[in-house]
Amino acid sequence: MKILVTGGAGYIGSHVVRQLGEAGHEVVVYDNLSTGHRWAILSGTLVEGDLADGERLDAVFEAHRFDAVLHFAAFIVVPESVAEPLKYYANNTRNTLGLLERVQRFGVPHFVFSSTAAVYGMPEQSMVDESAPLVPINPYGASKMMSERMLMDLGVAGGPSYVALRYFNVAGADPEARIGQATPDATHLIKVACQAALGQRERLQIFGTDYPTPDGTCIRDYIHIEDLARAHLAALDYLAGGGASAVLNCGYGRGYSVREVADAVRRVSGVEFRVDEAPRRAGDPPALVADNTRIRRELGWTPAYDDLDRIVADAWRWERKFANQ
């Protein structure tokens, strides 16, 4: 298949691009490199451009006949979305609208969308399935929810068949440490803990220790980037095989607490590092775990890296290499 990947130079996009190339697909990456990296693109060709640049985007669609679009390009920092909401609605929602306009105009049959568990907001149940109400509590989650709705409405109106994948907590890195999380000032817990172990950060902060969980800290469902990337390839195969449009959670169906993650990083790295306790952050649910029944059933997706120590080991290997690059 010939596939356009927006945001393919970023953390998640680059892993998917690598797997697409390994599977024999022809890939065109469209990225403005604002947070992504040219060196992270291990397959296909790069077109440097912004999604807001309609002429540039038109030229790409005119030059290629794409079988599918995988859309990753987005801003993802929740606190920033609260401080600068219009920035998020412009990039995550308006630019998705512009992309979908081209998908419709040029007759691209399939679309895979990078969504998020943030669309659920503060769910009443810790184990969340796709039928849970969508009540995002920040502009980031709302911007993704709006994009999902546009995609759904376009599909009903004769647009592309699609799969929207709602990510839970993505972590880890390429097992061969070729690429990994390289965003400056990243807030991902496992990356921050690894950087604390490397001495790149003074400490790891635990925000809230009085939650109604076994050890008082928040519980999250951490999914290895390799398993997440494979879900995108499975979604492509599913759509190419005539599968109906679907919205699917991407997680393992079990969670780990912040303290358990910190302990895993200590265990894997062999390094003690400073951990400080801090007050709760607004909007953090006590526990958020994916019900992944639907993705297993619809895509035949089976995780291969469902082990916290393995996730941390691959992240640790990457962080050590990246620190020396």
Residues with a catalytic annotation lie at 140
Q: Is the dihedral of CA 47, 48, 52, 55 positive or negative?
A: negative
189-197 and 258-269 are packed helices; what angle lies between their axes, rounded to 10 degrees?
A: 40
Residues 9, 30: Cα–Cα separation, whole Å: 8
**Amino acid found at 184:** P
**Cβ contacts of residue 231 below 8 Å, gap of 6+?**
165, 248, 250, 295, 299, 301
Residues 311, 325: Cα–Cα separation, whole Å: 21
Give the number of other Cβ atoms within 10 Å of residue 193's Cβ. 27
**Cβ contacts of residue 171 below 8 Å, gap of 6+?**
188, 189, 190, 191, 222, 223, 224, 225, 311, 312, 315
